[in-house]
Structure 1
Amino acid sequence: MNIKAIIEGKKEWRAHMARVKALPNDYQIVYEEIQKYLYKVGPIELTEGIGLLSGIVDLFEEGATRGKGVLDVTGSNVADFCDDLIKDSKTYLDQASINQKVSKAIKKATDK
């Protein structure tokens, strides 16, 4: 990654966060928790730009414009909302699980 791409990425992130800060407070709180959850679960799309997070902000902006509360948009179980967003995504947890299984299988096969 060259310096120009890094600078553009930072500009994109700052613009994204400005959109988040413009949301009502309850939306900001839920967005922050969703962001933490997604970073912990690790859908690979998060390393490829802010598309997924930007889509969440789009949804939140629309909900706020329509006067809905954030939990009317996400549902009361925000973790389920997040899981539905990434249900078809490959995650780093998946990779870790696969790597662990392969490592155990190889170790078991070579220990015989």
Structure 2
Amino acid sequence: MSDTEKSGLISKLIGPKKRWKAYKARVKELPESHRTAVEAIERYLMHFVPTDADSSASMFEDLADLFEQSAADGTPIREIVGEDPVEFVEAFVQNYSEGGYVPARARKRLTDDIERAAGEDAGE
């Protein structure tokens, strides 16, 4: 294996891992309601994760960007994801991959988790 090949392999293995850790640190700093929503969306997105590590990392970084800005602006969860979180996530992910099979159970969990996050956001 040449040095160039080794370098490419290392960046594929280490780069995305560093990006993932940075993403998780950003999510941890969000207000509780926004963090709950991002974590619910994250679980759902695992069904769609692109095979390309850079696309996958970009997708999660963009999700963090969206929720960081929304939290800074005081935007409620429902204004971010709308009334149908499944529709929101499926539209969001289309920018990154063709998507995958999502079982009904995952869709229900996402909807329930966003409902809980929106309730936290409203102080319920």
| 58-67 vs 82-91, which moves further | 82-91
Which of 96, 99, 105 is the matching residue for 1:91?
Answer: 99
Question: Root-mean-square deviation (CA), in Å?
Answer: 2.2
| Residues 1:56 and 2:63 are matched in the alignment | yes
Letter in 2 for 1:80: E
Asked whether the equivalents of residues 27 and 60 of structure 1 are also in contact (C-alpha less than 8 Å), the reply is yes
1:67-106 alignment, distance < 5 Å: 67-87=74-94, 89-93=97-101
Post-superposition offset of 1:13:
1.1
- Secondary structure in structure 2 of the residue aligned to 1:50: helix
Structure 1 unaligned segments of length 5 or more: list them.
94-112
Q: Give the number of the structure with larger relative contact order, counting CA–CA contacts within 8 Å between residues 6 or more apart.
A: 2
**TM, length-normalised to structure 1:** 0.68
Letter in 2 for 1:21: K
Post-superposition offset of 1:43:
4.4
Post-superposition offset of 1:4:
4.8
| Residues 1:44 and 2:50 are matched in the alignment | yes
If you compute each CA radius of gyration, which structure gives the higher value, 1 or 2?
Answer: 1
**What does residue 25 of structure 2 align with?**
18
Aligned length: 92
C-alpha separation in 2, matches of 1:45 and 1:62 = 27
Asked whether the equivalents of residues 59 and 93 of structure 2 are also in contact (C-alpha less than 8 Å), the reply is no
C-alpha separation in 2, matches of 1:12 and 1:50 = 6
The percent identity for this pair of structures is: 27
Asked whether the equivalents of residues 19 and 57 of structure 1 are also in contact (C-alpha less than 8 Å), the reply is yes
**TM, length-normalised to structure 2:** 0.63
